[in-house]
Structure 1
Amino acid sequence: MAARLISSSTDGFFQKLPVLLPLYTTSDTNTTNTKSKAADVISDDVAFARVLAFYLPSSAQQPLQAIHDMSRLSLHPDVLAHTVDAETNHPKLRPFNTFGQENKNDPLWTTTGWKALKAIYQENGLISVAYDTTNQEWNRRVHQFALEHAYICTGALTGCPMGMSDGAAKLLQGHLDKPDGNQPGLNKVINEAYRRLISNDPKEAWTAGQWMTERSGGSDVSGTETYARRLRDSELAEESRKGRVHDAHGMPLGPWCINGFKWFSSATDSDMTMMLAQTDSGLSLFYAPTRRHVPSIGNAPPASELNGIRIQRLKDKLGTKSLPTAELELKGVRAYLIGEEGRGVKEISAILNMTRLYTAHAGVGYWARGLQVCRAHARVRKVRGGLLQDNPAHLRWMASETVKYTAATHFAFFGIAMYGAMEQDPEKVVRSTKASALIPSTKDELAILLRLLTPVMKSQITLGSVAGLRESMECLGGVGYCENNEDGGLMNISRVFRDALSGPIWEGTVSVMAEDVVRVLTDKRIGGGKVIQTVYAPWVRRILTVCRPTFSNEIELVLVRLTALENMVKVVDKEQILFQGRELLQHLEWVTCAVLLMFDACTDRDEIAIEIARRWARSHPMSPTAFQPPDGANWPEISKMDKRIFLGSSGMESGKATAKL
């Protein structure tokens, strides 16, 4: 009888460690090794590669090479060591010094890995390339977000402060040439902050916070209880006597004083912040450095302290553990008013539009890592004597997930490409690409389409990424459920899943995004209050005409859903549309993704791209009345039943039971 093989902790079966391939490989690499070049000519993320070929001209080798390099840097063991450090050594609060006094100097500790990952972000131009106006040959935003796509999971949430920094730079860019007015030093401060925000030198580059959320209600800023007032001359003189004249970098402090409490502030370690506060004229926007200069004692080196900011406590979150998120008490924060007093929400919208784009794209980036791991796992995992990559049931499942991811990737980069075209000359950055017939040629149509679809992207892509990463975790079995920080943490899908869960919540929940879309649909200033009929539907039909020779049957399915959408928005009652808000988001996502996938497939008639477009178009077929509530205007009664279903016998209103239907 043959001896049995008995396993131990070091002997027996060990699965071969999956090797993740770089997400993107350019066909024109700088490598001189012929053998390695021949073995390294395929991008692991096909959807990502097609997006780049779609929105960037073939002559744009500079950004393509940079994306190629970033795809490899993100997998480098030395960089991954920083990721593991940031993810396992979380930020800590040190509120007091040795003798119990308030620590105003350095109360927040973040790991070396976190700082290193931010520096990599900056020195590789993940913000600066978007503001490099010397480049007019390609879409700078596509270039920027493609670098982000390759780096986002390795970057361990550094994309959050970078997104807010990008938004702050965009906002301040609109104020660069404005005079000081009655705020001495304002122009100098704005120009310096802008320069640092877009710098690719980590020694000079800044990150920015975005402080809006208060205990009174998350995305609803109308209840803001933080107040700002203009300091009197006598008060400014007293501040000067105390040495409170400059920020930590020698720039003048603003003439406003802010007091209040911010309940949820991400990127607490940033160098500056944009925050909302009430004034006598209403909600206003302010710029504030997070640190100010304090007079040195004797021969001590120059010192600084927090600018009237006290970190109350750090948030203990389900995910985004490496990101310092805090509750902040504000007492005497010196700041500058940005824009008109009482117009803060309009001003900060520049940041919100940017961060929502970042959040949508983050969902795609997280999802990409999940499938990247799944592909690597399937190539080496043995099941019943064969590899998982040859298992029909597994392949069917993963193909379905890849179709969803591909749709989301095209949707996200469509928004990014439109945003970039808006910033540059649409004619110059679009006409030499495969997307020339897809992206509207006029900035008016571009702006309306982008305004309509941005909240749809933010909500639906983040929701899809959460579901997609759960599937990726299951793909690895028990390993997928574990916190795997060995081997650079590349197999730690559970960490990415936890981080992705923040997406549908941050920068406005899904319901808030639905309300925003309804706001667009009913705003008379946007497409005459009929944006679906005047802008969106004509765009869809125009693109479908190009696709008809290849997708005649699928186009009919899309037109059925487009008709359903048109019927839905004919409803005059805004409240009825809000009642169906989440369905509206689903509808816009499905139609838009169908159009994008079919148009992409038609550019080169790639067999796989055609099949992906067909599978998406055939998923969830709808009738023209699918999005109409039963009995037409009877939706209030349906809503009452919804309440009874959800709350049961506890569904009380004003002390009385809900009325019977």
Structure 2
Amino acid sequence: MAPTHQTTPISPSTPAVEITQRFASPSSSTEGFFQAPPNVQSQFDDDIALQRALSFFLPDRVREELIPELSTFSRLVLAPKITTWINDAEKNPPYVKHWDSWGKRRDVLITSEGWRNLQALGIQEGIVAIPYDNERGVFSRVHQFAKYHLWAGSAAWVNCPSLMVDGVAALLRRHLSDPAVEGVERDVLRSAYDRLTSRDPITAWTTGQWMTERAGGSDVSQTETLATYAPDASPRQDVEVTAVDGHPLGPWKIDGFKWFSSATDADMVVMLARTTKGISTFFAPMRKTVPASARDMLGHETELNGISIQRLKSKLGTRALPTAELVLNGTRGYIIGEDGKGTKEITTVLNIARIHNGFTAIGLWGRGLSVVRAFGRARSVGQKPLLEKTAYVTTVAKMHVEYRANVLFNYFVAGLLGVVEQEQIKAFRSVVGGAPVAVGSVGRVPGLRDAQMAEHLLRLLTPVLKGVTAKTAIAGLAECMECLGGVGYLENDDQIFNIARLYRDANVLSIWEGTTDMMAHDVLRVVYGKTKVAVLSAMRDWVKATCASTRLAEQKKMVSEWWNRWETWLRNVEKGEAEMKARVVMERLADVVQGVLLIADAESDGDRNAVDVLDAWLSTRRAGMGLSGDEGSAGSWRVTSARNMRVVYTAESPVGGQAKL
């Protein structure tokens, strides 16, 4: 017998006879109440925060050009074939076959078909390639990260290799822009760059980024991996051995142990190793060819480039992502940049990875919120639809307000990156060829004067973005699970509703690419560093320029006072106290930035909902900033309740009618 679906709640007016008839027989596995599955809509259509961010940071012409692409992609990532791939990647995690049938060590990494298909889809869709194509100039990064925002919830963590590919491609682009890089080194780096930025899954490469070692964790000064310049070290019989793309393997020999290395299935790696001059950055192919004379005997044409996989890590989340402990024994590679300046070189990779981290946070959280919104529309509790439970809507509204602030923060930093990169792209194309690049535009970034100002803000705010958005997304997804009750806690095979997966995956966001405390101390390195005067001046000018008009004067005064208080406190406090309170310093700076952006967004078109979000967000910050007021100061509980409903379901009434703002 087919299941009986009962979705109509019992109300006080329901006749007793009808109630008695409904409960006349017991429920069973096939009869009784079955919750209708929530209709999770595509984020591009349903996510007001995303829609407003695109309207705010893109001109109308560019946004309209992108609508078909983003709308189609937002539906694709929810399609059954994608959820099938996610399930396969989750249920069939990677493993290593250390030995062949005859006892020879090979360390063959096996990944699932779902993982490989998701990887190929991300490459085809240009998740990395978009900003390197640079078809929309200063807006290319916003375009890329909008797609990334939609992708993160369905990627099963193939976006981890993507973020490393993006950072390493930017690093290689910078070096290829230098005419002094020539000969074999230029050919090798150019081949790698072209593959990293390709949209063809057959020829495209992914890359690892190996820094973490047992002695130091995030402290790369403790690097124990050693690199030796030994261009003639290969025995004569190996002269025909090359990287898989046909280029020589490299004159440096690298030996050591990497403790926590993600993207072990990558085609190449950028890593740190110690030379006689200090810590340096190296490029190495993951695999090398086997001499032709030995291929028949060995039964394979390639093998790892002096790399052994000791074991794969067992992790709370990111289970489909192969993360390993690696032994390096004669790995051949090339030095990138100046010998002994590796920490500076790797910063390019880290900064872009940290921005990806922020967008992963809002991508996972945004997907969780889309499920919560759908559940609120579909679920009834007791005698009322869930949407009429004001406590529930209040909780969900608080999340949406925080999410809106985090989304604006992410797109603001993406906009800054897009501005800063144009000079770099111009320099690159002047050396290697390609379409000319127009520079000088600051895009649609509010309050921005020029690219130099953007560079200062980007340096200051990238660690803030990573540190703050990771923690809010983790907490937000825990709340999203709770909103669905027991179903939210389940590892649901229907990956559209599996918030538990999103939550356990999100927990890595506050750890990798630097913990929250490390991000906070990075902020202090900037405000106490060599460029502190220029950076703080840029931040001060940005706040002043964005809050210049008389509209929303009360809100602007409040946020401007926060900035003045923050800057004054840092100027007068001992550095030791600032270090002790580093997280608070970072969080209060994030409050200033998010407050300014929420004001600018609300001011841009006077949208009632945007003003509601701004006022609701400010009410949560008053106590933390030492100001008077509480959440009830905006008006009566009825006014606040109505505002909460607008924040969550912008144009919907509880009964499904339209409440146009």
Name the TM-score, length of structure 2 as normaliser. 0.86
Report the alpha carbon displacement of residue 397 of structure 1 after superposing the two structures with TM.
1.2
CA distance in 1, matches of 2:496, 2:172: 37
1:17 paired to 2:13: no
1:160 paired to 2:156: no
Residue number in structure 2 paired with 1:654? none
Which structure is higher in helix share? Answer: 2
CA change 1:313–1:299 in 2 (3 A) is: closer
Residue number in structure 1 paired with 2:216? 217
Report the alpha carbon displacement of residue 384 of structure 1 after superposing the two structures with TM.
1.4
Report the alpha carbon displacement of residue 561 of structure 1 after superposing the two structures with TM.
1.8
Which of 514, 523, 531 aligns to 1:517? It is: 523
CA distance in 1, matches of 2:417, 2:477: 27
CA distance in 1, matches of 2:67, 2:467: 29
1:322 paired to 2:320: yes
1:48 paired to 2:50: yes
CA contact (8 A) 2:227 2:275 kept: yes
Residue number in structure 2 paired with 1:8? 28
Cα deviation 1:93-131 (Å, max 9, x = unaligned):
111112322115xx2110000000010000011111111
CA contact (8 A) 2:161 2:206 kept: yes
CA distance in 2, matches of 1:262, 1:244: 28
| The 10-residue stretch of structure 1 (566-575 or 604-613) with the greater mean CA deviation from structure 2 | 566-575
CA distance in 1, matches of 2:88, 2:374: 24
* Unpaired segments ≥5 residues, structure 2: 1-19, 425-436, 628-661
Report the alpha carbon displacement of residue 387 of structure 1 after superposing the two structures with TM.
1.9
1:402 paired to 2:400: yes
| The 10-residue stretch of structure 1 (594-603 or 125-134) with the greater mean CA deviation from structure 2 | 125-134
CA change 1:82–1:65 in 2 (3 A) is: same
Report the alpha carbon displacement of residue 432 of structure 1 after superposing the two structures with TM.
9.5
CA distance in 2, matches of 1:264, 1:595: 38
CA distance in 1, matches of 2:334, 2:172: 12
Matches within 5 A, 1:608-627: 608-621=609-622
CA distance in 2, matches of 1:10, 1:494: 26
SS, match of residue 333 in structure 1: strand
CA distance in 1, matches of 2:179, 2:251: 15
CA distance in 2, matches of 1:149, 1:406: 13
Report the alpha carbon displacement of residue 54 of structure 1 after superposing the two structures with TM.
1.1
CA change 1:297–1:385 in 2 (3 A) is: farther
Q: Quick one: which amino acid aligns to residue 195 of structure 2?
A: R
Q: Quick one: which amino acid aligns to residue 72 of structure 1?
A: R
Which of 496, 501, 515 aligns to 2:502? It is: 496
CA contact (8 A) 2:212 2:259 kept: yes
CA distance in 2, matches of 1:562, 1:135: 34
Report the alpha carbon displacement of residue 184 of structure 1 after superposing the two structures with TM.
5.7
1:508 paired to 2:510: no
CA distance in 1, matches of 2:339, 2:165: 23
CA distance in 2, matches of 1:358, 1:591: 22
CA change 1:17–1:195 in 2 (3 A) is: same
Q: Quick one: which amino acid aligns to residue 48 of structure 2?
A: V
CA contact (8 A) 2:241 2:291 kept: no
Number of residue pairs matched by the alignment: 592
CA distance in 2, matches of 1:331, 1:62: 50
| The 10-residue stretch of structure 1 (348-357 or 60-69) with the greater mean CA deviation from structure 2 | 60-69
Q: Quick one: which amino acid aligns to residue 415 of structure 2?
A: A
CA change 1:90–1:190 in 2 (3 A) is: same
Structure of greater relative contact order (alpha carbons < 8 Å, 6+ residues apart): 2
CA change 1:583–1:464 in 2 (3 A) is: same
CA change 1:281–1:19 in 2 (3 A) is: same
Residue number in structure 2 paired with 1:659? none
Cα deviation 1:354-382 (Å, max 9, x = unaligned):
00111111111111011010011111111
Q: Quick one: which amino acid aligns to residue 453 of structure 1?
A: L
CA distance in 2, matches of 1:404, 1:279: 46
SS, match of residue 286 in structure 1: strand
Residue number in structure 2 paired with 1:39? none
Report the alpha carbon displacement of residue 400 of structure 1 after superposing the two structures with TM.
0.9
Give the ranges of 4+ consecutive aligned residues of structure 1 lying more than 3 Å apart after TM superposition.
133-136, 177-181, 296-302, 425-433, 622-626
Q: Quick one: which amino acid aligns to residue 372 of structure 2?
A: C
Q: Quick one: which amino acid aligns to residue 238 of structure 2?
A: K
* Unpaired segments ≥5 residues, structure 1: 25-42, 627-661
Residue number in structure 2 paired with 1:536? 539
Residue number in structure 2 paired with 1:85? 88
SS, match of residue 176 in structure 2: coil
| The 10-residue stretch of structure 1 (423-432 or 268-277) with the greater mean CA deviation from structure 2 | 423-432
Residue number in structure 1 paired with 2:378? 380
CA change 1:381–1:350 in 2 (3 A) is: same
Cα deviation 1:398-439 (Å, max 9, x = unaligned):
111100000000001100111011112799799796x35x15
CA change 1:129–1:58 in 2 (3 A) is: same
Matches within 5 A, 1:224-303: 224-233=223-232, 235-236=233-234, 238=235, 240-243=236-239, 245-297=241-293, 300=296, 303=301
CA contact (8 A) 1:227 1:277 kept: yes
Q: Quick one: which amino acid aligns to residue 565 of structure 2?
A: A
CA distance in 1, matches of 2:267, 2:523: 33
Matches within 5 A, 1:54-453: 54-60=56-62, 61-104=64-107, 107-136=108-137, 139-178=139-178, 185-233=184-232, 235-236=233-234, 238=235, 240-243=236-239, 245-297=241-293, 300=296, 303-424=301-422, 435=444, 438-453=446-461
CA distance in 2, matches of 1:432, 1:251: 40
CA change 1:63–1:613 in 2 (3 A) is: same
Q: CA RMSD in A?
A: 2.1
Report the alpha carbon displacement of residue 552 of structure 1 after superposing the two structures with TM.
2.2
Report the alpha carbon displacement of residue 252 of structure 1 after superposing the two structures with TM.
1.2
Which of 444, 459, 472 aligns to 1:464? It is: 472
Q: Quick one: which amino acid aligns to residue 166 of structure 1?
A: D
Residue number in structure 1 paired with 2:647? none
| The 10-residue stretch of structure 1 (563-572 or 573-582) with the greater mean CA deviation from structure 2 | 563-572
CA distance in 2, matches of 1:302, 1:483: 39
Residue number in structure 2 paired with 1:480? 488
SS, match of residue 5 in structure 1: coil
CA contact (8 A) 1:91 1:108 kept: yes
Report the alpha carbon displacement of residue 572 of structure 1 after superposing the two structures with TM.
5.8
Report the alpha carbon displacement of residue 180 of structure 1 after superposing the two structures with TM.
7.6
SS, match of residue 154 in structure 2: coil
CA distance in 1, matches of 2:291, 2:237: 10
Cα deviation 1:270-312 (Å, max 9, x = unaligned):
0000000000000000000000000234885870000000000
Residue identity (%)? 40
Report the alpha carbon displacement of residue 600 of structure 1 after superposing the two structures with TM.
0.6
CA contact (8 A) 2:447 2:542 kept: no
| The 10-residue stretch of structure 1 (536-545 or 162-171) with the greater mean CA deviation from structure 2 | 536-545
CA distance in 1, matches of 2:383, 2:80: 32
Residue number in structure 1 paired with 2:644? none
Report the alpha carbon displacement of residue 617 of structure 1 after superposing the two structures with TM.
1.9
Name the TM-score, length of structure 1 as normaliser. 0.86
CA change 1:209–1:432 in 2 (3 A) is: closer
CA distance in 2, matches of 1:506, 1:432: 31
CA distance in 2, matches of 1:56, 1:606: 17
Q: Quick one: which amino acid aligns to residue 55 of structure 2?
A: A
Cα deviation 1:503-558 (Å, max 9, x = unaligned):
11111011101110000001123435xx33x2212311221123x32x22222322
SS, match of residue 174 in structure 1: helix
Residue number in structure 2 paired with 1:556? 557
Cα deviation 1:131-166 (Å, max 9, x = unaligned):
114443x50000001111111111110110000001
Residue number in structure 2 paired with 1:647? none
CA change 1:100–1:581 in 2 (3 A) is: same
SS, match of residue 272 in structure 2: strand
Q: Quick one: which amino acid aligns to residue 470 of structure 2?
A: T
